[in-house]
Amino acid sequence: MLFHGKPPIAKNPIDFGDYLEDFDIAKFVYKDKRKAFDKLFARDPAFLADLSAAVFAILARSGYTHKDVYQKLLECCRDIIIAEGFSEIDEDEMKILLRPTADEGIPNNVLVAGCQNNEMLKRRVEKAAQFVSNLGYNCTVIFSGRNPDPSGKTTVKILDESRRMRVQFRELLRHNNNTPLPRMHDLVPEERSSTTQTNISQLFQQNLLSQTKHNNLIVISSTFHLIRLAREIKTQLVTPKHGRRIAQLLLIGAEDPQHTFYVQDAPYFKLMMFDVFEHLMRIGSTKDLKTFERRKVRNQGQSGEKKQGKRR
């Protein structure tokens, strides 16, 4: 999936009623537990989303989820990104968007986000290598690692995400041809890279983006992760200092469309469910849910009237 945004990026009105119908867990909470549920949501919605996503991840790992649910979840992630103010585009449109900026000498900066899952990391690096090859290596590649525990007190699966991505990336491009590799940087030292917010903040604070001209920023990650990345980047772009530095913002989902809906690794499913649940829970706590419920009741009433009309 490809998305485009041009600052300033304003939110779009998207109806999430169908997704609430499919994934809203609140409606299945017993009435006598609803107050406790609401209190927990008010206190820590992220924890509630995490707990819900963990349950679904167990079902996915056990093979109890239908493959169609992956497509539905990715579609929800897509619509959340569009709601944040981005447009869905295809590869031809992406080339058209980047062509004029290349003629103007605007640099392309490709940010590849890390993670603690080897399969997801591999997919992101492969997508980055494919994209950079299509650009003719005319770009700077920035690897953004994430260390879950900067203190080093706990063990991690991948000690240095940025380094692993850089090694895999170089190997992939070396197999393509003998063209000189693009410039590569690590965003921040791994021990100081702990959250998406930290990484995006560092991206704009460091001198990796041009200070004297506009930049194209291309962000590559799993589609569900693009939601948080988009929000953090938008936070930076609202400041006059950073807003004028970005000419085009492109978000690229790392999943291969031909194999996306057969991804069965539980960590991927769990992380995707977390972002979907968190968004839908926040919507469900607002008047949007009330509007959705009123519309549902109205539609049911109209359906009943039609049936009665037929009987008459």
* Dist. CA 165–CA 120, nearest whole Å: 11
Could you tell me if residue 160 is inside a domain? yes
Say which residue the tokens 């359906």 belong to. 303
CB-CB neighbours of 207 under 10 Å = 7
Could you tell me if residue 124 is inside a domain? yes
Mean pLDDT for the stretch of residues 234-253: 89
Could you tell me if residue 174 is inside a domain? yes
What is the number of structural domains in the chain?
Answer: 1
φ/ψ (deg, to 5) at 236: -70, -35
The answer to whether residues 289 and 20 touch, using CB atoms and an 8 Å cutoff, is yes
pLDDT at residue 194 is higher than 80 = no
Could you tell me if residue 145 is inside a domain? yes
Query: What whole-number percentage of the chain has pLDDT above 90?
Result: 33
Tens of pLDDT, residue by residue over 81-114, are 999 999 999 999 998 888 776 667 888 999 999 9
Check residue 257 and give its pLDDT.
63
CATH number of the domain encompassing residue 241: 3.40.50
CB-CB neighbours of 179 under 10 Å = 11
Weakest-pLDDT range from 183-192, 196-205, 223-232, 298-307:
298-307
* Dist. CA 148–CA 157, nearest whole Å: 10
Weakest-pLDDT range from 64-68, 211-215, 308-312:
308-312
Among the residues of 2-67, which ranges form H helices?
Answer: 17-23, 34-43, 45-61
pLDDT band of residue 276 (cuts 50, 70, 90) is very high
Tens of pLDDT, residue by residue over 20-44, are 888 888 888 899 998 998 898 889 9
Could you tell me if residue 82 is inside a domain? no
pTM of the shown model: 0.83
Check residue 287 and give its pLDDT.
43
pLDDT band of residue 292 (cuts 50, 70, 90) is very low
Check residue 165 and give its pLDDT.
94
Tens of pLDDT, residue by residue over 125-181, are 999 999 998 887 788 999 987 655 656 666 778 888 888 999 999 999 887 665 677
pLDDT at residue 231 is higher than 70 = yes
Cis bond leading into 8, ω under 30°? yes
* Domain interval for residue 214: 90-260
pLDDT at residue 309 is higher than 80 = no
Check residue 68 and give its pLDDT.
78
φ/ψ (deg, to 5) at 287: -65, -15
The answer to whether residues 191 and 197 touch, using CB atoms and an 8 Å cutoff, is no
Check residue 289 and give its pLDDT.
44
Check residue 301 and give its pLDDT.
63
Could you tell me if residue 84 is inside a domain? no
* 281 or 149: which leads in pLDDT: 281
Could you tell me if residue 136 is inside a domain? yes
Could you tell me if residue 98 is inside a domain? yes
